């Protein structure tokens, strides 16, 4: 007799059927979101988890491999399974497709220009599915690659996910790591939409270029592990020495 929530022989109506390993994966993911294990921490071994969940070790393995594909955990042979964390590496390359022409990826830096709590503009409301009266913190940054200004960013963060972030005095330039450690929001994926626009006077000043030059405008909606839209970001990028690079398969 088993009282495990994973006893598939007793599971509900067949319409709700989900393979055991998916249920296990979802449950482990939920436990990570609830910080039973925090980013960087090791999970119990496959056998321990199997025992806890009353499933076989092979089923736990399949679940953990799924979470590995989703980059939610990282596995190292002989060492263990760890909750993924955004490192400098990760934050700067995994979600930063802008590259200098003809070079390998370089370490970008960011300069914070302003922080402000304000009512959400209509485009932000639409993008983040907010309510009319929700407030957002608006950050403006300028990024530097190879000692040259390469892009300006305007970042909107809903007050509900980032309470009081506008009062912080120590916002670092590795934002995604900061989201994870201070606000328990782990960036999981982004949806980027790219257009070409002409630089206006503001762009010209910020990026030290002439108005009328072509820029890449990247609109990003950022989603957390929990599936919430946690960030909307507009990046205006010089395109003369840089390009946005992406692989499709």
Partner DNA sequence: AAGTGGTCTAGACCACACT
Partner DNA sequence: GTGTGGTCTAGACCACTTA
Among 35, 36, 45, 168, binds DNA (CB under 7 A): 45
Which of 15, 76, 133, 249 is in the footprint of DNA by CB under 7 A?
A: 76
Q: Which of 12, 1, 40 is nearest to 181 (CA)?
A: 40
DSSP for 62-79, written as a single string: HHHHHHHHTTSEEEETTT
2 is an interface residue for DNA by CB under 7 A: no
Q: Would you say 51 or 126 has its CB closer to DNA?
A: 51
| CA angle in degrees (0–180, nearest 5) for 78-65-4 | 100
Tokens of 32: 């990570």
19-38 positions binding DNA, by CB under 7 A:
19-22
Q: How far apart are CA 39 and CA 71, in angstroms?
A: 12
Chosen from a copy of itself, DNA, none, partner binding at 227 (C-beta under 5 to 8 Å by type) = none
Asked if residue 63 binds a copy of itself (CB under 8 A), the reply is no
Q: What does 106-171 look like in DSSP terms, one character per residue? A: ---EEEEEEEEEEEPPHHHHHHHT--TT-EEEEEEEEEEETTEEEEEEEEEEETTTSTTGGG-S--
Does 75 bind DNA (CB under 7 A)? Our answer is yes
Binding map of a copy of itself across residues 183-222, x = CB under 8 A, - = no contact: -----xxxxxxxxxxx---------------xxx------
Among 58, 119, 163, 214, binds DNA (CB under 7 A): 58
For residue 45, the partner it binds in a copy of itself, DNA, none, with Cβ less than 5 to 8 A by kind, is DNA
Do residues 233 and 219 lie in contact, with contact meaning Cβ atoms separated by under 8 Å?
yes
Question: How many residues of this chain bind DNA (CB under 7 A)?
Answer: 28
Position among 6, 37, 95, 149 found at the interface with a copy of itself (CB under 8 A): 95
The C-alpha atoms of residue 199 and residue 108 are separated, in whole angstroms, by: 21
Residues contributing to the site for a copy of itself (CB under 8 A) = 70-71, 94-95, 97, 188-198, 214-216, 239, 243-249
């Amino acid at each position: 007799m088993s009282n495990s929530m994973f006893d598939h022989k007793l599971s509900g109506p067949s319409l709700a059927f989900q393979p055991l390993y998916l249920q296990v994966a979802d449950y482990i993911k939920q436990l990570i979101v609830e910080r039973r294990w925090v980013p960087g921490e090791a999970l119990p071994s496959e056998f321990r988890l199997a025992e806890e969940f009353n499933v076989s070790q092979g089923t736990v393995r399949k679940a953990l491999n799924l979470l590995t594909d989703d980059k939610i955990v990282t596995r190292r042979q002989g060492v263990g399974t760890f909750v993924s964390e955004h490192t400098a590496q990760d934050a700067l390359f995994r979600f930063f497709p802008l590259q200098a022409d003809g070079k390998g990826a370089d370490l970008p830096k960011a300069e914070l220009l302003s922080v402000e709590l304000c009512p959400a503009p209509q485009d932000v409301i639409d993008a983040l599915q907010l309510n009319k009266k929700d407030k957002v913190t608006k950050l403006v940054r300028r990024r530097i690659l190879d000692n040259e200004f390469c892009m300006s960013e305007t970042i909107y963060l809903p007050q509900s996910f980032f309470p009081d972030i506008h009062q912080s005095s120590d916002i670092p330039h590795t934002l995604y790591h900061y989201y994870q450690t201070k606000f328990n929001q782990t960036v999981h994926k982004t949806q980027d939409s790219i257009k070409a626009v002409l630089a206006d006077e503001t762009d010209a000043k910020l990026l030290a270029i002439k108005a009328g030059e072509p820029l890449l405008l990247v609109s990003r909606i950022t989603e957390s592990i929990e599936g919430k839209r946690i960030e909307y970001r507009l990046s205006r990028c010089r395109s003369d020495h840089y390009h946005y690079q992406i692989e499709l398969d």
